[in-house]
A and B are shown apart, each in its own frame.
Chain A
Amino acid sequence: MTYRVKRACVRLLLLVLLLWPPVHAGLVSFYDLSAWKLSGWGMYSQPRPKDVGMEVYGRTAGGGDYDQLTNASPALQTEANAFLAQHQWLGRLTRPDAFAAAIRHERPDWEALRIVTFRSHMEPDTGMIVLRRTEFDYPPRAPEEPR
């Protein structure tokens, strides 16, 4: 490898070092990515979540209210844990598509799915621990559709 190529690699490295952290900070703000991960150098800048959890709701073709999924099968629990392990750090950059497919496989009568995740989070202004909730709808909810 010539010196010119090596110099180009170092230039690229410097660009990445200078540009990635601001992009990373944007992902933290807009997609709820954890500041601790993905080499944005934001470790120790925000509390790590202590609790992470999930609830699943489904609605049959006739409409009506959503029913909560209880007594999930071991296979579904495995899928849920795999998703939560990613979601805990990657926030809304991840979607539970594989988990949703697994639910549809077990509950083909459900026309619509709603997967709700919860993470404990400290509000910086009040210093209180609150639950942060994220919803994933399958199929995606139209903007005007009520919850």
Chain B
Amino acid sequence: MAGWIDRALALADDDGPVRAAKLTTFQVVFLLVLGTEYWARAIRHGSDISAAYAVDLAAATVFCVGGLALARWRRVAFAGLALSHLFLVWREFPVTGNHAYFEMLLCVVCALLDPHERRERRLLLQSVRWMVVSILFYSGVHKVLYGYYFRGQYLAYALWMETFRPVLRLLLPSAEYERLVAYSRDVGQGPFLVDAPLFVATSNGVYVAEMGLALLLLWRPTRIAGVLGAVTMLLAIEAAAREFFFGLVFANAIALFLPGEPHRRLLEPVAFILAYLLLVRLGLVPEVIFH
């Protein structure tokens, strides 16, 4: 069993050795996103935040700042953040979003494994890559299992969310768009079935892309194509779903599939996006809807 698991883990290896800086910069980007996400959530709730969340926010802030400023204590900071996320999951259960579980798992492996130690660095890279592959693949599998993508049902239903409309409108004849937008999702309404070929093809393309990209990322010769495809799909999803923090955490993890140290180039744009999102929450720049 252990041998089989190790062979599976090795599928996510690089051809050559991996430098510690690749993983440490990944961790820096991750800490920046986590810290900003905690504060963006707190600002959104304003004075309504509970005492428990305020304590959690204070602890998470200390861990994020400590982890960024003191590299030697970074694993301790990740351990603290894993506990902080565990608290959030427990407190919000079962409403907790999947991205909180993903972030918690990332914190756990970052707390457990030292990127400066060669063997642990390899395990860290393998485990984060497998998380990405698992999430992508099973996201596609779920869509096949429940059958809401074969005739565009889910995307038609998703038109009740304003952020989905500009994206999906491009794929629908105007009469069909007006019909679907008019539904209030009450019992008896429908059918949320669509005949527009482009819309149905896009709907079916979602799960095909998710499962296919997972395999492309895992197989070394197609890894770059997998990264390009995954980032393109993530951008398309975020244009509608607007879960920017999950998008940034996931993009950061996807970048680990690239050779070299891509996170160095990610650092500045990510910091800019995060600063902008905080300014939006503070009401200092024009509103952008995100969750």
B130 CB contact (under 8 Å) in A9, A17, A51 = A17
A127/B146 contact (C-beta < 8 A), A6-B123, A14-B9 known? no
Q: Would you give the shortest CB distance from B123 to chain A, in whole angstroms?
A: 5
Give the distance in Å from the alpha carbon of A120 to the alpha carbon of B141 in the complex: 24
Interface size on B, residues (CB 8 A): 54
For B138, B143, B185, the residue with the greatest tally of chain A CB atoms inside 10 Å of its CB is B138
Q: Taking each of B102, B108, B154, which has the highest tally of chain A beta carbons within 10 Å of its own beta carbon?
A: B154
- Write out the residue numbers on chain A whose beta carbons fall within 8 Å of the beta carbon of B127: 10, 13-14
Q: Which residues of A contact B233 (CB under 8 A)?
A: none
Give the residues in chain A near B102, CB-CB below 8 Å: 39
Pick from B126, B130, B147, B188: contact of A128, CB below 8 A: B188
**Residue of B whose beta carbon sits closest to that of A41:** B138
Quick check: B151 and A127 within 8 Å, CB to CB? yes
Closest to A125 in B: B147
Q: Give the residues in chain B near A129, CB-CB below 8 Å.
A: 185-190, 192
- Contact between A14 and B94, CB atoms less than 8 A apart: no
8 Å CB contact of B154 from A37, A47, A126: A47
Given known A3-B120, A50-B186, contact A39–B241 (CB-CB < 8 A): no
- B191 contacts which chain A residues (CB < 8 A)? 126-128
In the complex, B148 has a CB within 8 A of chain A: yes
> Given the known A-B contacts A37-B94, A39-B101, A127-B151, are A50 and B185 also in contact in the complex, defined by CB atoms under 8 Å?
yes
- Whether B153 sits at the interface, judged by CB under 8 Å, is yes
Given A6-B123, A13-B127, A122-B192: A51 touches B142 (CB 8 Å cut-off): no
**Residue of B139, B141, B188 touching A43 (CB-CB under 8 A):** B139
* Contact present for A10 and B9 (CB under 8 Å): yes
On whether the beta carbons of B151 and A6 are closer than 8 Å, the reply is no
Contacts of A71 in B (CB 8 A): none
Is there contact, CB below 8 Å, between B131 and A17? yes
Q: Are B148 and A131 in touch, CB under 8 angstroms?
A: no
Is the C-beta of A107 less than 8 angstroms from some C-beta in chain B? Answer: no
Question: In the complex, A122→B98 CA distance in Å?
Answer: 22
Q: Are A6 and B141 neighbours in the complex by a CB distance under 8 Å?
A: no
Interface status of A124 (Cβ within 8 A of chain B) = yes
* CB-contact partner of A35 in B135, B146, B157, under 8 A: B146
| Contact A10 B154, beta carbon cutoff 8 Å | no
Query: Is the beta-carbon distance between B156 and A21 smaller than 8 angstroms?
Result: no
Chain A residues within an 8 Å CB radius of B193: 126-127
In the complex, B182 has a CB within 8 A of chain A: no
Cα A45 to Cα B193 in complex, Å, equals: 15
Residue from A37, A90, A127 within 8 A of B153 (CB atoms): A127
Collect the chain A residues with CB atoms within 8 Å of residue B112's CB. 1, 6, 9-10
A77 at the A/B interface (Cβ < 8 Å)? Answer: no
Contact B109 A13 (CB under 8 A): yes
B175: Cβ under 8 A from any A Cβ: no
B105 proximal to A (CB < 8 A): yes
Partner of B146, one of A1, A28, A86: A28
B165 to chain A, nearest CB (A): 16
Closest to A33 in B: B94
A120 touches B185 (CB 8 A): yes
Out of A15, A28, A89, A122, name the residue touching B5 (CB < 8 Å). Answer: A15
In angstroms, how far is the closest chain B Cβ from the Cβ of A83?
Answer: 12
Which parts of A1-55 form the interface with B (CB within 8 Å)? Answer: 1, 3, 6-7, 9-11, 13-15, 17-18, 21, 25, 28-29, 34-47, 50-51
Q: Are B120 and A25 within 8 A (Cβ)?
A: no
Q: Which residue of B lies closest to A47 (CB)?
A: B157
CA of A25 to CA of B98, assembled, Å: 14
Residue of A nearest to B134 (CB): A17
Further contacts, 7 of them, CB under 8 A, given A35-B142, A122-B192: A14-B8, A29-B145, A40-B142, A43-B97, A44-B139, A86-B94, A120-B186
